[in-house]
C-alpha cells in the first residue's frame, strides 16, 4: 500500500515589522494623550531659619578631630554623661532660645561619629544650633 503523498504547505512567516510599528504607535499615542505627573503631592516644607553669625547660647558642645567631646570647654566622657549634664543645665527652661546648645564639630568627622552627640543634646531637651565657618563670597 502506498501512502498518500502529503502536500507541502507553504512556509508561513509572521510579519514582525508591522508589530513593532503598532507598538511604537501605541507608545506615541499614550505619551501624547496622557498628562505627565506634575507635583501632585503637596508637601509643606519647614521654614528655614536665616543663617546668623552668632547665637546667644551660653552652652557649647564641641567635638575635635579625634572624636573627643567637650561641654563648655570641659571634657565629657560619653554621650550619656553629656545628656545628663545638659539635662541638669536645661531643667526648668521652656523657651527655645533658653534651651539652645551650640554644636561645633570637626569637619573630618563622619556622621556616625557625631550622631550620638546630636541625639544626646536632643534627648536632654536642647535645641541644636550647628556652628560652621561662613566663607566670604566675592
Contact 106, 64 (CB under 8 A): yes
Strand-strand pairing, 127-130 and 74-76: unpaired
pLDDT in tens, 3-29: 767 777 777 776 667 788 888 899 988
Dihedral angle sign, alpha carbons of residues 130, 104, 59, 54: negative
Locate all alpha helices (DSSP H) within 34-110, ordered by sequence. 79-90
pLDDT of amino acid 94: 79
In angstroms, the CA 61 to CA 84 distance is: 13
pTM: 0.56
Tell me the per-residue pLDDT of 99-127, one tens digit each, with 9 for 90 and over.
888 888 887 888 888 888 888 988 888 88
- Report whether CATH 3.30.420 matches the domain 60-130: yes
pLDDT in tens, 53-89: 566 667 888 888 888 888 888 889 888 998 898 888 8
> Is residue 41 pLDDT above 60, yes or no?
no
8 A C-beta contact, residue 61 and residue 131: no
Higher pLDDT, 131 or 105: 105
Instruction: Give the domain ranges of the chain.
Output: 60-130
Q: Please check whether residue 71 is in contact with residue 61, taking contact to mean a CB–CB distance below 8 angstroms.
A: yes
Amino acid at each position: 500500500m502506498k501512502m498518500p503523498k502529503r502536500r507541502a504547505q507553504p512556509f508561513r512567516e509572521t510579519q514582525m515589522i508591522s508589530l513593532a510599528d503598532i507598538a511604537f504607535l501605541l507608545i506615541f499615542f499614550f505619551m501624547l494623550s496622557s498628562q505627565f505627573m506634575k507635583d501632585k503631592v503637596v508637601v509643606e516644607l519647614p521654614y528655614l531659619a536665616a543663617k546668623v553669625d552668632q547665637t546667644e547660647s551660653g552652652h557649647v558642645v564641641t567635638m575635635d578631630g579625634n572624636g573627643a567631646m567637650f561641654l563648655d570647654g570641659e571634657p565629657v566622657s560619653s554621650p550619656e554623661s553629656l545628656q545628663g549634664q545638659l539635662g541638669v543645665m536645661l531643667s526648668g527652661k521652656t523657651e527655645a532660645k533658653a534651651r539652645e546648645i551650640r554644636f561645633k564639630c570637626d569637619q573630618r568627622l563622619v556622621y556616625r561619629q557625631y550622631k550620638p552627640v546630636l541625639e544626646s543634646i536632643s534627648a536632654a531637651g536642647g535645641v541644636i544650633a550647628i556652628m560652621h565657618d561662613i566663607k566670604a563670597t566675592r
